[in-house]
Each structure stands twice: as C-alpha cells, then as structure tokens.
Amino acid sequence: MLIPHDTRIALETVVDLVNTAPESDTGDGLAELPALYAFAERHDISGVGTLGEKDLRAVQDVRDRFADIFAAPDARTAADLVNGLVAAAGTTPQLTNHDGYDWHVHYFAPDASVADHLAADCGMALAFIVVAGEQDRLRRCEAPDCRDAFVDLSRNRSRRYCSSRTCGNRLHVAAYRARRREAAR
C-alpha cells in the first residue's frame, strides 16, 4: 500500500490525539490549554493563533470522533463517520509544496480553527485509508493494559501492539518467563 508522506504524518497525528484520551493509562493528555499548544506544536499545526477553552473542547470532541472511527466495525460505518466529521469542518483543498515537501493537498480552510484543521486534514487521511480498503489497519494494541491506538502499516498487516519495543517486548518477556516457570516445575 502506497501511503503519501502527508497522509502518513496526518495518521500519526490522529494516533497521538486518540492516545491522549482520559481512559489511556497516563490520564487525559489534553486536559488543559498548555497541552493543546504543545500538541499543535508537536504536529506542526501552523497558524493556530491564540487558543481558548472552546478550542480545547472542540479538539477533545474531534478526538472522540477519531476514536469512533478506529472502533468502526466496517467501512460503511467508518465512511459515514468520516463524512460527518469532514463536512462539519468544511474544507478548502489547496495544493502546496511548503517547507521542501513535494506537492500535496491541504484540506483545511485558510482560517480554520485548530479543531477544524485536524478534522479536515486528518479526516481526509482516514478517508484515504477507507478508499484504499485498508480500514482494518486502524487498530488498538492487544496488550491488555494498554489498548493504545495505532495504524498498522506493516506489509502483512500482522502488527498487534502499539510498539514492538514496549508492549510487544513486554508481552514476549512475560510469555517467555511463564514458559520457563512451566518448564521448571
């Protein structure tokens, strides 16, 4: 599956946003305004200007919608959710090659709020995944105490954990120790 650079970046933004949810083990990573500023900076969301409580609540709402799309049982459900999200945000497709990137399309409107910016551009990245028939790559980590969202971009769609270094490795070690204990009996 060929995923353009900007789509890949937008998907990383979606994953990061979904994983700030209050039910993740680190608590709500987007509870206060400074966290929203940090998030916008981390993901190069330019021109956000001064952010307020309204922006915070709107982004939290977009976060819930992205989580719903991750949980969508089929493409039809995902498509309806993406359509609703993108329509509400309003879009102005615009070709750009800023900052040395190849030509790609920005979808957010010029004066979009940070929430609408995220809904438009990340919503379209999720739309691209649905169009490619790859909606089942939007996954949750299978580690029982993690459940973080991730996008499985592996060739054979075999990824089960948010990170092989943390969750995958942790479970491997646990399984290995259990086998050793079993063998030592």
Residue ranges that bind Zn ion, judged by CB under 5 A: 141, 143, 146, 148, 162, 167
Comparing CA positions, the residue from 55, 53, 72 lying closest to residue 118 is 55
Comparing CA positions, the residue from 108, 118, 111 lying closest to residue 43 is 118
Instruction: Return the number of the residue (127 or 162) whose C-beta is nearest Zn ion.
Output: 162
Integer Cα distance of 41 and 148 in angstroms: 22
Instruction: Return the number of the residue (62 or 149) whose C-beta is nearest Zn ion.
Output: 149
Integer Cα distance of 13 and 15 in angstroms: 5
Half-sphere exposure in the Cβ direction for 182 (13 Å, CA): 6
Shortest distance in whole angstroms from residue 80 CB to Zn ion: 27
Shortest distance in whole angstroms from residue 61 CB to Zn ion: 24
Shortest distance in whole angstroms from residue 43 CB to Zn ion: 11
Instruction: Return the number of the residue (85 or 143) whose C-beta is nearest Zn ion.
Output: 143
Instruction: Return the number of the residue (6 or 55) whose C-beta is nearest Zn ion.
Output: 6
Integer Cα distance of 87 and 14 in angstroms: 18
Q: What is the identity of the amino acid at 164?
A: S
Shortest distance in whole angstroms from residue 44 CB to Zn ion: 8
Instruction: Return the number of the residue (3 or 141) whose C-beta is nearest Zn ion.
Output: 141
Shortest distance in whole angstroms from residue 76 CB to Zn ion: 28
82-104 as b/e: b if 16+ CB within 10 A: beebbeebebeeeeeeeeeeeee
